Amino acid sequence: MLNRQSFSVGFTGLCEVYNRKPSETLTLTYYEVLKTMTDDDFTRAVSTILETRRFTNLPTPAEILQAITGDASDRALLAFEKVVYARKNIGHYRTVAFDDPVIHAVIDYLGGWVAICEMAAEDWRFARKDFVEFYKAKGKVGANKGRYGLLVGYEGETKRFMAVGDKAKIRAMLETVKLIEDKKETTS
């Protein structure tokens, strides 16, 4: 979570460079959008913008986020690389969890974890295009974080799984799924 002091220093600097007065409303609006960033990510984003941006107006919150996360195509390709890694190094037998619920949504769309892993090499080459396109679309509308838990492998194991990516994000996603499942059980 973005520390208000770190945000204030970086945002004031941006406002100075781009000749914009940091009003209370403007500052609060930017902070609300960016508060999920880490201090380091925010500082890197500000540095990247100051080093590369040629426009003379204050960057939008979306531009600040994009300085760290890249655009939709960048994110889709990086997500695909995680799947390639897991497919090659973990395989269809083990259960996996990625740190991005959109990856889970795309894998479900493409037939599930086992189906992805068992695709013939020729089909896999074509799956990349489908993966990237669906990832970009799903990324725009968002994946229901409470719907996507583990991608169960052939063994069917759900107590042990292989984590791919940020373990804290995976833990948070799986806790959300568990809370929703627990709520369903109590209302049934």
User: What confidence tens digit (pLDDT) does each residue in 49-80 have?
Assistant: 999 999 999 999 999 998 987 888 888 999 99
Say if residue 119 is in the same domain as residue 145.
Answer: yes
Say if residue 114 is in the same domain as residue 42.
Answer: no
Give the residue from 50, 69, 88 where a domain finishes.
Answer: 69
Say if residue 104 is in the same domain as residue 20.
Answer: no
Give the residue from 52, 69, 86 where a domain finishes.
Answer: 69
Query: What pLDDT sits at residue 138?
Result: 85
Residue range of the domain that includes 24: 4-69
Say if residue 104 is in the same domain as residue 126.
Answer: yes
Write out the H or E segment, with its range, that includes residue 162. Answer: strand 162-164
Pinpoint the alpha helices (H) of the chain: 4-17, 24-34, 39-52, 61-69, 72-89, 101-109, 113-118, 121-141, 167-187
**pLDDT tens digits, one per residue of 120-138:** 988 888 888 999 999 998 8
Say if residue 145 is in the same domain as residue 104.
Answer: yes
Predicted TM-score (pTM) of this structure: 0.68
Domain count, the chain: 2
Say if residue 63 is in the same domain as residue 83.
Answer: no
30 class by beta-carbon count within 10 Å (0-12 exposed, 13-18 middle, 19+ buried): buried
Query: What pLDDT sits at residue 180?
Result: 46
Query: What pLDDT sits at residue 125?
Result: 83
Give the residue from 69, 96, 111 where a domain finishes.
Answer: 69
Say if residue 107 is in the same domain as residue 45.
Answer: no
| 8 A C-beta contact, residue 97 and residue 150 | yes
Say if residue 43 is in the same domain as residue 81.
Answer: no
> Which of the residues in the chain have pLDDT under 50?
146, 180, 183-187
Q: Using alpha carbons, select from 50, 43, 45 the residue that is nearest to residue 18.
A: 50
Say if residue 58 is in the same domain as residue 112.
Answer: no
Say if residue 159 is in the same domain as residue 93.
Answer: yes
Say if residue 170 is in the same domain as residue 79.
Answer: yes
Tokens read off for 23? 């009003």
Say if residue 51 is in the same domain as residue 82.
Answer: no
| 8 A C-beta contact, residue 65 and residue 77 | no
